[in-house]
Structure 1
Amino acid sequence: MFKKFGRSQCQIKKLLKVICPLCNRLIEVPMYKAVNGELIECPECKKNFIFRKDT
């Protein structure tokens, strides 16, 4: 009777400015990577992190 709706993946290609938590550099990443919780590689320090919104 009721349909379950799963979370759909964000497909927005706009760039989002994010501060790398490891080296504190401002980098631009595609919005879908941040929203979907994908692994982001910082071009400055070459380390990986996952964007998480502070609440």
Structure 2
Amino acid sequence: MPKNERSVRLFKTRKAVFQAILLIVGAAMVGVGALRGEVDIVLSKAIRLCLECVGIG
């Protein structure tokens, strides 16, 4: 196998591992935020923002 093909395969493998790690970390952070009760805060801010955009709030 030529050196170029090995380096491309290594790059793709590292990229996939890095993406998987980021996905797991992101899901963990969403879970921690939900456990802390931040869902209500985010939802209320989103509702206020939408109402302001429409011109009601």
TM range (shorter): under 0.3
Q: TM-score, normalised by structure 2?
A: 0.26
Higher strand share: 1
Q: Which has the higher contact order (CA 8 A, sep 6+)?
A: 1
TM-score by length of 1: 0.26
Please state which structure has a larger fraction of its residues in helix. 2
